[in-house]
Amino acid sequence: MAKDSADAAKSGGALTGVKVIDLSRVLGGPFATQLLADHGADVIKLEPPQGDEVRDWGPPFHEDDAAYFIGVNRNKRSVGLDLSKPEGREVLLRLLEDADVLIENFKPGSMEAWGIGYEDIKARFPRLIYCKISGFGNDGPLGGFPGYDGIVAAMAGHYSVNGSPESGPMRLGLPTVDLSMGMYCVIGILLAIHDRVTSREGQAIEVTLYDAAMSLMHPHLPNYYLSGKVAPLSGNQHTTLVPYGMYQTQTVPVMLGAGNNRAFKKVCEVLDRPELADDPRFATNGDRLKHRDALNEIIVAKLATVDGMAFALQLLKSGLPCGPVLDTGQVAESEHTRARGMIYEDGWYKGTGTPVRLSRTPGGMKSPPPKFSAHAREVLTEHGFDEAAIEKLAAAGVLVEKRRP
C-alpha cells in the first residue's frame, strides 16, 4: 500500500464523518464520490438491480468487473437496491436519516416520479445536500434529454477546436466532460457543506454535462465573445502562442512552449540559434504569430537532429516548459509518477491516486472497489434493520445481492 494510503488510514481523511449516499452510475458521479471517499467520506453506493453498467465496460476485467468501473469506485460500500419498488424507496429514506449528501444522475424527473426528488424530501431532511447530475438540465430546448460525454462534447464545441485542417474536427481521447462534471460536483458539495456550517440548511446542487463542457471552452469562447470569430483548427499548435506545439525529434515527439519573450530567448539559446531572439520577425508573440510557419520551419529542422527525451529534460532544467509525448504505459511506469505516489496498490488492485492531497489529512486508499452489493447486509444492519427485515427485503427483490441480467 502506498505511503499516502497508510497516512490516510491514520488520519481518517478531511471528510471523516461525512456520509454520502451515491445513486450515480457510469463515470462523472462515481468519479466525484471516489474523490470524496479518498478523503474520508463514508460513501454508500446504491446500485440498481443490474448494477452499475460500467462493471461490464471491458475488457480488461478483474473477477467480472471492468477496469472502467474499478478506476472510479474504490473506498466505497455497495448495496443493490431496487428503487422502483416502494419498499426500496423506504430503505433509501432510512439511509438518508443521518446522511449529509445524496448524489444521483437519473434522467430528470425520475426521482420526482418516485416521490424522492429534492422538493419531496427537503422538509424531512433539511440539512441534506442533494446533488443532481443531468445531461442538459431541466430547462431550455434540450432540457430533460439524455447526455453522454462524447455527444455533449461535440455539441459544446470541443471537437470543433480539436484536430487539424487536414483531419477535420476530432473526438478527444479523454472523457473530459464527464470528469470535469465530477469535479464540479465535488466543488458544489464542498461549497454547500461550508454554507451549512452557518445556515444550518442543506440545498440542491445542479451540475450538467453541457454546462461543464461549456466551461472548458477556454480560450475559444472568450475569444469569440470579443472578436466574433470562430477558432480555426490548429492541430498540435497553440492558436495564439508561438512557439507552442508538438514537434518531432529523432526519437519521440515533444511539446515545446514559450509563453513570453524571455522564455522565447531561452528556447533560442537551447536551440543554438540565439540570433532568432533579435530577429524582427520574432520580436514579440504577435510577430511570431504572423511568421509562425517560418519559425516552425527553423525549429523543426533543429529538433529533427536531437534526442527528444534528453532535449525536453534539458529545457525543463533551464526552466522552460517542454515535455516528451508519452503513451499510457510510459506514464504509468514513470519514475516521477512513482515518486509522486500517484499509483495506489493493494493486493490485486492498482489505481491512479488522488490528485488532491492535504498536508495533515492527505487522503488515499482504504479499500478496493466493492463487488456488487457486497456491503448490503452490513449497511442495512447499521441503519436499524434486523435479520428478519433484511431477509424479507431480499425475498421481495428489494434488496438485490446478485446482479440481474
* 372: its cell numbers: 456488487
Same domain, 48 and 156: yes
Distance of alpha carbon 159 from alpha carbon 149, whole angstroms:
12
Distance of alpha carbon 182 from alpha carbon 201, whole angstroms:
23
Last residue of a domain, one of 275, 291, 324: 324
Distance of alpha carbon 314 from alpha carbon 305, whole angstroms:
15
- Tell me, yes or no, if 65 is annotated catalytic: no
Distance of alpha carbon 301 from alpha carbon 30, whole angstroms:
47
Model confidence at 143: pLDDT above 50: yes
Distance of alpha carbon 244 from alpha carbon 5, whole angstroms:
38
* pTM listed for this prediction: 0.92
Distance of alpha carbon 178 from alpha carbon 31, whole angstroms:
8
Same domain, 66 and 104: yes
Same domain, 88 and 146: yes
Model confidence at 344: pLDDT above 90: yes
In sequence order, what are the residues at sequence separation of 6 or more whose Cβ sits closer than 8 angstroms to the Cβ of residue 78? 45, 47, 370, 371, 372, 373, 374, 375, 376
**How are beta strands 101-104 and 19-22 bridged, if at all?**
parallel
Same domain, 82 and 20: yes
Q: Is the dihedral of CA 291, 297, 302, 308 positive or negative?
A: positive
| Mean pLDDT, residues 290-306 taken together | 94
| Mean pLDDT, residues 187-212 taken together | 98
Last residue of a domain, one of 324, 356, 378: 324
| Mean pLDDT, residues 384-397 taken together | 97
Indicate whether 245 belongs to any domain.
Answer: no
Same domain, 135 and 273: no
- Written as one string, the DSSP assignment of 14-51 is TTTT-EEEE---TTHHHHHHHHHHHTT-EEEEEE-TT-
Indicate whether 184 belongs to any domain.
Answer: yes
Give residue-wise pLDDT tens across range 76-133: 999 999 999 999 999 999 999 999 999 999 999 999 999 999 999 999 999 999 999 9
* 389: its cell numbers: 427485515
Peptide bond into 280 cis (omega under 30): no
| Mean pLDDT, residues 212-228 taken together | 96
- Written as one string, the DSSP assignment of 156-190 is TTTGGGSS-TTT-S---SS-HHHHHHHHHHHHHHH
Last residue of a domain, one of 324, 359, 379: 324
Same domain, 315 and 366: no
Tell me the CATH number at 267: 3.30.1540.10
Indicate whether 332 belongs to any domain.
Answer: no
Burial of 94 (0-12, 13-18, 19+ CB in 10 A): middle
Band (pLDDT 50/70/90 cuts) for residue 11 is low
Same domain, 125 and 26: yes
Q: Report the interhelical angle of 176-199 vs 28-38 (nearest 10°).
A: 50
* 145: its cell numbers: 434529454
* 14: its cell numbers: 478531511
Q: What pLDDT, on the 0 to 100 scale, is given for residue 239?
A: 85
Distance of alpha carbon 399 from alpha carbon 384, whole angstroms:
15
Band (pLDDT 50/70/90 cuts) for residue 30 is very high
Same domain, 196 and 263: no
Same domain, 16 and 152: yes
Model confidence at 8: pLDDT above 50: no
Same domain, 123 and 52: yes
Same domain, 81 and 128: yes
Indicate whether 229 belongs to any domain.
Answer: no
Q: What is the biggest distance separating any 2 CA atoms in the chain, rounded to whole angstroms?
A: 84
**How are beta strands 129-134 and 204-208 bridged, if at all?**
parallel
Q: Which of 22, 38, 82, 178 is catalytic?
A: 178
**Which of 202-206, 315-319, 382-386 bottoms out in mean pLDDT, i.e. has the lowest?**
315-319
Model confidence at 153: pLDDT above 50: yes
Q: What pLDDT, on the 0 to 100 scale, is given for residue 3?
A: 47
Query: How is residue 142 annotated by DSSP?
Result: T
Q: For the chain, what is the domain count? A: 2
What's the mean pLDDT when you consider all of the chain? 94
| Mean pLDDT, residues 12-32 taken together | 97
Indicate whether 275 belongs to any domain.
Answer: yes
Q: What pLDDT, on the 0 to 100 scale, is given for residue 320?
A: 85
| Mean pLDDT, residues 241-269 taken together | 93
Percent above pLDDT 70 for the chain = 97
Model confidence at 180: pLDDT above 80: yes
Indicate whether 44 belongs to any domain.
Answer: yes
Indicate whether 239 belongs to any domain.
Answer: no
Q: What pLDDT, on the 0 to 100 scale, is given for residue 9?
A: 46
What Cα–Cα distance (Å) separates residue 325 from each residue in 91, 176, 205, 322?
50, 19, 38, 10
Indicate whether 66 belongs to any domain.
Answer: yes
Tell me the CATH number at 170: 3.40.50.10540
Same domain, 284 and 353: no
Q: Which domain holds residue 299?
A: 254-324
43 bridge partner residues: 20, 76
For residue 83, the surrounding DSSP H or E stretch is: none
